[in-house]
Chains A and B, each alone.
Chain A
Amino acid sequence: MQLRPRLSLRARLYLFSVAIFTLFAINVGTHLWGSFARNESLVAYRDAVSAAQLTADLEQSLENQRQQVLVLATLRETTEDPLGNDELNTAIDDLEAISTRLRRLGALGIEGTEDYYRRLHESASDLLDLWRRFYNSYNNEGPVPNVDTPTRYNDAQQRLRELDQRQAYLAVQRSNAIDRTIALTDRITVLGFIASIAITTLLVVLLLRSTNASLLRLKIGAERFGSGDLSHRINEQLDAGEIAELARTFNEMSGKLEQAIEEVRAAKADADNANAAKSMFLANVSHELRTPLNAIIGYSEMLQDELGDGAEIDRAQFTHDLSTIIFSGRQLLSLINDILDLSKIETGKMQVSLSVFNPGDLVAQVCDTLSPLLGQHHNTLVLEIDRDSLYDIESDAGKLQQIITNLFSNACKFTDSGTITVSAQIRDEILDIGVSDTGIGMSEAQQAKVFEAFIQADASTSQNYGGTGLGLAIVREFCEMLGGDIVLESTPGAGSRFSVRLPAVPVSDRAVA
């Protein structure tokens, strides 16, 4: 069961508090009402007691006064003795006291007795007035008012009793009403109390249950994240406020973790690839080193055997075999140098060493040095050095020399009875050195791989043509280090052209700048 699923925890607690306070207020209200009713009953009881006492006093006082007046009237007829001033004053004061009691009874103002009181007041006032006149004329000559008036007296007493009865009746009625009110408020208080406990318990259960459900979703989510299910998402729609916020935070956390793990995975894959590449590099290096070593060791052992068995030595054959050993040794050396260069480039330790030189001179010199290679496959060299366009530049002469050497040896290697053309010129401050041949050329697929280390256009190429498969990789790296690039155009069977393009800012401009 889900009560108000979209309420925030704060709203739930707030509603809960409001409900508890409302219940508390109801309880306090009913209690106050009960209290008030009890006070009312107390006041009514006190008034009733006062009224009863006053009524009894009045009855007694009227009775006493009547006795006194009747005695005095009889005395005056028989003795005609005057009354002393003190006696007279006391009698007048007694009458005043009765009047005062009468007024106090009226002042109680008990509801529903007004008519009775008014009738009592008329009757009693007449009586008191008669008696007052009696006392005032007692010592005078002549007659005094007749005070033997039982009808008047009885009338006053009768009305006093009626008022008393009325008061008693009202007091009982009122007391009953108040008792009922008290019983009602007591019941309401008890019911309110029981309801408060029940509702509070219900609210606590609902609050706990709905909050538990929210927390359970968070817990299940956290457990699934913990067990590695990072694609899991806690349903944020089922909650609002802080818990939805928390769910969102959890989801974001798991999203970020998922991303981080993805990155770690990618990094590991990269590392694995790098590692595999390194292993492949080592396997290739091992393979490349073994090929010339096979010739060196094989020929040396063979010559040793031939010398050892004492047969006549064919000097020409012997010399040829020795040059094969030397050729293989040199190949091994250049291979080691290439591997070292490539390793330096890959670890970022290869440095550019700048000097000022004329590129035309450099190209001519390298071609001259390498010219013996042309004879191996009966090739001819064509030099196209545009002297007019060439000027002194600042670059790395050693690296440029190695670039030209590698391209030149490749051209010689893959061309038979053809032409090797080496050109050099500067156009728009770009030095362009071209090495082209009329050799076997390369397909597009071969061209795409030719600059990668240990790749020759064909797996069999190194056996057929020698070479390390590292030369072009080094050439491309050097071109990039010198701020330029290398472009290859080739047609299978027709030949290849490598164009090296390097920045060639005139040295004089540089000095000025």
Chain B
Amino acid sequence: MSGNPKTVLLVEDNAVNRDMLIRRLTRAGHTVIAAEDGEEALSKMRQEHPAVVLMDMNLPVKDGWTASREASADPALADIPIVALTAHAMDHDREQALAAGCVDYATKPIDFPELLAKIDKWLGQR
């Protein structure tokens, strides 16, 4: 398997939140690359083959659910775990994300230690 075993792809269109998470994840020792929409996320996944994807669901151009479905349907990308990040906090939002092919789910505002634990868990499984 080619790619970067420690790289985390962060897909987030909101600049404030994106910059904040990049800085915090970098500080925590992760290599972080970023994308601003679903389309860009898919192309970054193909180019960089990151170890974990953190994906916001409300995205311009192509939303997170569509991008996740397409990634899990693509044999080249299906093994990359996608963790959904969303401000939608209802039960059915979680089910919707898991149904779209995400392996995990984190609600905004992000509990950062918990997010790090999730990332470690999915990195460890590779």
Contacts and interface: CB of A to CB of B under 8 A. Distances in A.
Contacts of A245: none
Contacts of B3: none
B55 to A, nearest CB: 13
Given A298-B112, A460-B60, A291 B14 contact: yes
Interface stretch (B45-53, B68-76, B84-92, B117-125): B84-92
A287 B89 contact: yes
A460 B59 contact: yes
Contact of B13 (A294, A324, A460): A460
B16 A295 contact: yes
B110 A298 contact: yes
A324 B14 CA distance: 12
A391 interface: no
A459 B66 CA distance: 14
Contacts of B58: 459-460, 463
B7 interface: no
Identify whether the interface residues of A are mostly helix, strand, loop, or mixed. Answer: helix
A312 to B, nearest CB: 14
A358 B60 CA distance: 43
B126 interface: no
Contact of B87 (A287, A302, A327): A287
A299 B27 CA distance: 13
Given A286-B89, A459-B58, A305 B27 contact: yes
A290 interface: yes
B60 A298 contact: no
Nearest to B88: A287
- Kindly state the interface size class of chain B when it binds its partner: 20 to 34
Interface in A460-478: 460, 463-464
Interface string A425-468: 00000000000000000000000000000000011100110000
A106 B59 CA distance: 142
A327 B56 CA distance: 21
Nearest to A293: B109
A305 B14 CA distance: 22
B110 A459 contact: no
A301 interface: yes
A492 to B, nearest CB: 15
A-B pairs with lowest CB-CB distance, top 7? A460-B60, A290-B87, A294-B108, A294-B109, A297-B109, A298-B20, A463-B13
Interface of B: 13-14, 16-17, 20-21, 23-24, 27, 56, 58-61, 63, 87-90, 107-110, 112
Given A286-B87, A298-B21, 18 more contacts: A286-B88, A286-B89, A287-B88, A287-B89, A288-B87, A291-B108, A293-B109, A294-B17, A294-B109, A295-B20, A296-B109, A297-B109, A301-B112, A458-B60, A459-B58, A459-B63, A460-B60, A463-B58
19 contacts: A283-B90, A286-B89, A290-B87, A290-B107, A291-B108, A293-B108, A294-B17, A295-B16, A297-B109, A298-B17, A298-B21, A298-B109, A299-B20, A302-B20, A302-B27, A324-B20, A327-B16, A460-B13, A463-B13
